[in-house]
Amino acid sequence: MAAVATDPRPAQVRATAVDSRYRRGAGRWLVLAAAVLVGLAVLAPFGIMLLNAFKSPQDYAANGPLSLPSSLYLDGVVAFWERTDFPVKLWNSVFISALVAVGGALLSLLNAYAIGIGRVKGRLWIIALFLLANMLPQEALIYPLFTMAQSVGLSNSQWSVIIIFTVIQSAFGTYLLSSVLGTFPPALLEAAALDGASRWRILWQVVFPIVRPTLSVLMIFFFIWTWNEFFIPLVMLTSNDTQTIPIALASLQGDRMMDAPTINAGSLVSLVPAVIFFLIFQRTLTRGVTAGAVK
Amino acid sequence: MADTALTEPRSRADARPRASRGTRRRRPQWVGYLPYLLPGAVAFGVVIGYPLLTNVYFSLFKWRGGMAPLRWNGLGNYVDLLGDDKFWTSFGNSLAMIVAMVLVPTLLGLVLAAVLFDYLGRRFGERVSSVLRATYYLPQILPVAVAGVLWNWILNSQTGALNVILRGLGVETPPNWLGDPDTALPSVMLVLIWVQMGYPVVIFMAALQRVDPELYEAAELDGAGWWDRFRAITVPQIRPETFVVTLTCTVAALKVFGPIYVLTRGGPESSTLVPSYYSYLNFFDKSQVGYGSAIATVLTLVIVAVALIILGLQNRAERREREGV
């Protein structure tokens, strides 16, 4: 215990010495100002959106986009909420993204188990195929998918979108997980095999618990990616009761009734779920991105 | 992240002893894992393989879609493409998309990541640099359609925020940003830079954490300035991540659809037309399914070719590095 307690001290002394060497000079303030300026430029559209989401059209006409709203105007939010039937769209987005996240991670794990741990023959080609699938433009799949969905009675169905994205997302997941599992400690697998565990049991009781952090990062990625998807939902989901949030917002765009507050409130309401989700999982994400890069 | 099994020499070397270890009569071990590939194989066949081939098949016909008859056209659609100005414009605009989504964000991202990590992070603390990083990343998390709708309004010539501000500053006739063929493409490019910039920053900062800090300390003791360290340590050390960013962003730039759809719909006068939007237009607006399929097929081939070139360059760089060491 005592040794552990005294150990860090020299390191600390060294660290602060280094720090004080850095904490000098006025140049660093200029660099900080430049970096902050870039940050403000990135934030500006968000700021303008916030300022104008709760401002009446008359207020906007009189005082422009940069003033604070003179009074809290909620009609924009209400108009957007009612016109898009927002709760339905929110549920559609959550439902589709969540199922894709779970299904995609599961499919990736099965594929990667065979490729990374099973080391099946020709795995380099299989991975190359998955990589290729990940790069394909969705336009090269959409018309056949569209006609296939019609012929099996899944036109305008969320299940068609769920199935398609489960497969598309798992292409990336397989690629990533295969290289993670390729470095899985063989000692653990051999020990489990000596105990007589089947491949199925090894997958769930040895491999799964260890790659669970990677899987959860994958699921977050899949969720956000699917949430943000535009092209395939635009084509496949054609009626109001099946559409997702981005499609609902975009389809209001041409509408003449869309005044400044409605557009801004709509954008704001549409991005709130994504931001909340991001804030909740930000830690997992940065850890995962780092882990991925170390690999 | 950059650990592609394709380029990893170790996995190839591993495979050989394992295969020869078992006795010859026994089934090789990997066969027992094949059932785990079955669901994936079926799913990929149905959702990707079959539609991809069907799309190529469709591209050989004149077809108005739906119940209309397919009329054989051979390579006619592809011949028509060669003489189609809009087709060439759309691929020309793809180059602009690459500038906006790959070139500028990667260069900016390199500098910003290095400044945050190696300069500001040490002088003002981790917190400052991670808050700035999160700020740069913010546009990446919002649905691209939402970003497009917001920017579409900001850039609107009459009621948009930007022109209202400009008029307030005394500019009599501010540009019609998205409505004028001269300014539409640069405006779209700016929006895409805004959307894209955070991605390389986050990836590069994560990459920098892997670099041995003693390299920097040693360089500093030798009197190397920030720029010297950036050039001699930062850039070469995170080259694998740079390749990954370049590859993924280039593919994304060639595929871009959503921002074009919500910002300009390819207009005005096709000045922002891109291949993916042009094929969508043929599929669902002009009912020229065969022609749309041909565009999508060409786009697929271009993407695969570009990706192979980038992967080849990466392999060569890695090999040269190994030989150099």
pLDDT tens column, B130-147: 889 989 988 988 888 889
Helices (H), chain B: 9-21, 34-44, 50-58, 76-82, 85-98, 104-114, 121-124, 126-141, 144-154, 161-168, 181-196, 198-208, 213-221, 226-229, 235-237, 239-255, 258-263, 275-284, 289-324
- d(CA B172, nearest CA chain A) in Å: 16
Going from the C-alpha of B159 to that of each of A62, A124, B163, the distances in angstroms are: 12, 55, 7
CB contact under 8 A, B34 and A120: yes
Which of B18, B31, B34, B48 should we substitute to test contact with A (largest number of A Cβ atoms within 10 Å)? B48
Query: Which amino acid belongs to residue B180?
Result: D
How many Å separate Cα A173 from the centre of its chain?
13
Full-model pTM: 0.85
Helices B126-141 and B198-208 cross at an angle (nearest 10°) of 140
Can you read off the two tokens belonging to residue B161?
Answer: 């925020």
Partner A contacted by B145 (CB < 8 A): yes
Query: What's the topology of domain B78-324?
Result: MetI-like fold (1.10.3720)
**CB neighbour list of residue B153: distance below 8 Å, 6 or more residues apart:** A260, A263, A264, B159, B160, B161
CB contact under 8 A, A137 and B303: yes
Q: Indicate the residue of A39, A167, A247 with minimum beta-carbon distance to B43.
A: A167
Q: Where are the domains of chain B?
A: 78-324
Residue ranges for chain A with pLDDT beneath 70: 1-25, 254-257, 284-295
Is the bond preceding B139 in cis, omega lying within 30 degrees of 0?
no
How many Å separate Cα B26 from the centre of its chain?
46
Q: What is the pLDDT of residue A3?
A: 36
Provide the phi-psi class of B212: left if phi over 0, else alpha when psi is between -120 and 50, else beta.
beta
Partner A contacted by B168 (CB < 8 A): yes
Q: What is the pLDDT of residue B188?
A: 96
Q: What is the pLDDT of residue B168?
A: 86
Cα dihedral sign, B36-B41-B44-B46? negative
Q: Indicate the residue of A39, A126, A263 with minimum beta-carbon distance to B135.
A: A39
Q: Indicate the residue of A22, A234, A274 with minimum beta-carbon distance to B122.
A: A22
Q: What is the pLDDT of residue B285?
A: 92
CB contact under 8 A, A110 and B37: yes
Among A137, A187, A72, residue whose Cα is nearest residue B258: A137
CB contact under 8 A, B4 and A132: no
ipTM of the complex: 0.83
- d(CA A8, nearest CA chain B) in Å: 18
Quote the DSSP letter at residue A196.
Answer: T
Residue ranges for chain B with pLDDT beneath 70: 1-25, 325
Q: Taking a contact as any Cβ pair under 8 Å apart, which residues of chain B between 5 and 34 contact chain A?
A: 5-6, 8, 11-12, 14-15, 18, 28-34
Alpha carbons A216 and A236: distance in angstroms, whole number: 28
Q: Assign B240 to helix, strand or coil.
A: helix
**Which residue segments constitute the domains of chain A, with CATH numbers given?**
91-294 (1.10.3720.10)
Which of B27, B127, B135, B248 should we substitute to test contact with A (largest number of A Cβ atoms within 10 Å)? B135
- Judge whether B95 and B185 are in contact, CB under 8 Å: no
Q: What is the pLDDT of residue B19?
A: 44
What is the tens place of the pLDDT at every residue in B180-205? Answer: 999 999 999 999 999 999 999 988 98
